[in-house]
């Protein structure tokens, strides 16, 4: 039996199960996507219908204007497919010292989306690009036929605009199965060697992110009868050194309706931040949700963030 994650953290230090202070506001623009990846925790697809509107975006921009110093992390689905994507990006300019967009790369080669790379450059966005492997067959197996080739094409476009040089371009690796990522440093070296030698691609950093047992990945595990085994693997690889830096202590996630969560995985599970009255908090109560010392909403899926070197939306923790 796997021990309760929250108790495991509390035993290390009581403050590890509480919010430390807001550093990053992660905004999920919805579950609309041009891909249907097998590991996707939000089950995003071209049929996605939960899409953030301009009203929520305007509240996010107003909050950032009031709270300078908070990083903006834009995700999805495929955030670029939200028809109001420009509104959030342009509106937040000057209000956040670091603005990141999480891109699946393939969207940059879609007809009608050719404007995106130059828009990223002009807005000085940090691009965090998903590339789960440097081998074509592994990427296409997870993301769909032809996606690897389109991803390489997109990376070359970004390199041509200064990304990987004067503008920041980071890649994201996630395992192709129910195992914990290896050494982030070693994987980054391997990616750099392979992508440079084979395709002439330049990038800044590689982030390793463990697969959370949520969404399509959980469905895969359950279909194979390996869900409990994967949870046990994550728990066995628990790393106390990663615990103080888990991202939910400094990040708040906003869904398409403006509801707040401790992370995007909790959002996918429908586990919102609630107030003292038990009601879920929204963007209108962000100051309350971000108060230092507020209790975190944790579950067994959280073991993915403390396994091995630890895992977060910006890579390894320890």
What are the pLDDT digits (tens) for 109-131? 999 999 999 999 999 999 999 99
Residue 141: its pLDDT value, please?
A: 87
Annotate the chain with three-state secondary structure. CCCCHHHHHHHHCHHHHECCCCCEEEEECECECCCCCCCCCCCCECCCCCECCHHHHHHHHHHHHHCCCCEEEEECCCHHHCCCHHHHHHHHCCCCCCEEEEECCHHHHCCCCCCHHHHHHHHCCEEEEECCCCCHHHHHHHHCCCHHHHHHHHHHHHHHCCECCCECEEEEECCCCCCCCCCHHHHHHHHHHHHHHHHCCCCCEEEECCCCCCHHHHHHHHHHCCHHHHHHHHHHCECCCCHHHCHHHCEEEECCCCEEECCHHHHHHCCCCECCCCCECEHHHHHHHCCCCCECCCCHHHHHHCECCCCCCCCCCC
Residue 142: its pLDDT value, please?
A: 82
Using the structure block, give the residue that is written with the tokens 């107030």.
275
Identify whether the C-beta of residue 155 lies closer than 8 Å to the C-beta of residue 203: yes
pTM higher than the cut 0.85: yes
Q: What pairs with residue 205 in β-bridges?
A: 170
Structure tokens at 236: 């066995």
Rounded to 5 degrees, φ, ψ at 254 are -115, 130
For helices 85-92 and 116-123, the axis angle rounded to 10 degrees is 20
Q: How far apart are CA 203 and CA 193, in angstroms?
A: 11
Residue 256: its pLDDT value, please?
A: 98
- Give one word for 94, left, alpha or beta, with left for phi > 0 and alpha for psi -120 to 50: left
Q: In Å, how far from its chain's centre is CA 228?
A: 24
Identify whether the C-beta of residue 2 lies closer than 8 Å to the C-beta of residue 232: yes
Strand-pair category, 99-103 with 126-130? parallel
Q: At the topology level of CATH, where does 5-305 sit?
A: TIM Barrel (3.20.20)
Residue 145 buriedness (CB in 10 A; 0-12 / 13-18 / 19+): exposed
Q: Which residues of the chain fall short of a pLDDT of 50?
A: none
Domain limits, the chain: 5-305
Q: In Å, how far from its chain's centre is CA 139?
A: 18
Residue 23: its pLDDT value, please?
A: 99
Q: How far apart are CA 53 and CA 84, in angstroms?
A: 7
How many other CB atoms sit within 10 Å of the CB of residue 1? Answer: 6
Strand-pair category, 24-28 with 71-75? parallel
What share of the chain has pLDDT > 90, as a percent? 94
């Amino acid at each position: 039996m796997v021990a309760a994650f929250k108790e495991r953290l509390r035993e290390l230090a009581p403050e590890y199960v509480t919010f430390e202070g807001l550093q990053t506001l992660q905004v999920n623009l919805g579950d609309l996507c041009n891909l249907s990846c097998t590991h996707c925790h939000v089950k995003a697809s071209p049929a996605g219908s939960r899409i953030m509107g301009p009203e929520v975006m305007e509240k996010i921009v107003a909050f950032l204007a009031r709270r300078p110093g908070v990083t903006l992390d834009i995700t999805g689905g495929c955030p670029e497919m939200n028809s109001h994507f420009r509104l959030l990006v342009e509106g937040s300019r000057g209000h956040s010292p670091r603005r990141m967009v999480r891109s699946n790369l393939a969207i940059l080669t879609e007809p009608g989306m050719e404007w995106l790379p130059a828009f990223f450059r002009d807005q000085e966005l940090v691009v965090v690009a998903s590339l789960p492997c440097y081998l074509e067959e592994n990427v296409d197996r997870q993301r769909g036929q032809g996606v690897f080739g389109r991803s390489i094409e997109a990376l070359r476009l970004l390199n041509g605009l200064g990304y990987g040089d004067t503008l920041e371009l980071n890649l994201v690796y996630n395992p192709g199965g129910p195992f914990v990522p290896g050494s982030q440093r070693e994987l980054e070296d391997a990616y750099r060697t392979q992508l440079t030698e084979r395709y002439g691609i330049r990038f800044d950093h590689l982030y390793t992110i463990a697969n959370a047992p949520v969404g399509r990945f959980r469905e895969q595990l359950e279909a194979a009868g390996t869900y409990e085994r994967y949870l046990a693997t994550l728990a066995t690889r628990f790393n106390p050194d990663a615990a103080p830096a888990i991202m939910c202590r400094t990040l708040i996630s906003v869904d398409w309706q403006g509801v707040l969560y401790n992370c995007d995985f909790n959002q996918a599970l429908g586990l919102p931040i609630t107030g003292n009255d038990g009601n879920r908090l929204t963007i209108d109560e962000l100051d309350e949700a971000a108060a230092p010392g507020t209790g975190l909403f944790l579950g067994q899926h959280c073991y993915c963030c403390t396994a091995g070197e630890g895992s977060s939306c910006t890579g390894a923790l320890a």
